[in-house]
Structure 1
């Protein structure tokens, strides 16, 4: 599994990176703009991400906009749904409006912070990233 953690908060970024790096390569970005850059670069290198864990509220570009941009790029490239990157949105606020928007734009899962390692691992198992 190749993963990208997109999180502006150091503690959350470190926790996610520590968990995910046990299962494969794990890169980090601190905002949506960096996430888009990393996503595009991974495609160019022929090693796209399998998973992106992305915070919703970040400076520069938030996670919702980055998710929209990623899904638009996949759509333009003709990526079939089953091959699209899995995106787990993370947020400190459990707001239904945010959830609805995230799923509308194609997030795969949604986790509320603080991140529960067991819940994250359950989601990873669901998509075959961990045993």
Structure 2
């Protein structure tokens, strides 16, 4: 059975740790505190040939790459690298209408989790995308 690889991106240390602790039961977890660090992890994973099975990405983060910009970079990299099966991306944010926000930002994402979130909601995402 292939070990699942998950990337958790959130600038809030507590949120990153909570999400990671749930995800670690299902595979190898890399974490990042901003979009730039997330993109570095993503590119390294592609270069290593061990692609992510799931990316959980906060939207509002400091630095040059926030969540929606990082997702755009990931999607562009997939396209230029010839990756035929895009990684599932789950956006995590305190925005109350995440689907409308994602549409407005022209993001290609697979699901949304609104903060604060429950462990059962994380488990639902895990079951949907990892199994």
Shared fold per TM-score greater than 0.5: yes
2:51 paired with 1:79: no
Q: Structure 2: which 5+ residue stretches go unaligned?
A: none
Task: Look up the SS of the partner of 1:43 in the other structure.
Answer: helix
Query: What is the CA-CA distance between 1:76 and the residue it aligns to?
Result: 1.3
Would you say the 8 A contact 1:7–1:31 is kept in 2?
yes
The unaligned stretches of length 5 or more in structure 1 are none
Matched with 2:97 is 95
- Residues 99 and 110 of structure 1 are in contact (CA less than 8 Å); yes or no, is this contact kept in structure 2? no
Q: How many pairs does the alignment contain?
A: 126
What is the CA-CA distance between 1:21 and the residue it aligns to? 0.4
Q: TM-score, normalised by structure 1?
A: 0.89
Name which of 39, 50, 59 aligns with 1:56: 59
Which residue of 1 is the match for residue 70 of structure 2?
A: 66
Q: How does 1:1-131 map to 2 (within 5 A)?
A: 1-60=4-63, 61-80=65-84, 83-95=85-97, 97-101=100-104, 104-127=106-129, 129-130=130-131
Q: Please, what is the CA RMSD of the aligned residues?
A: 1.4
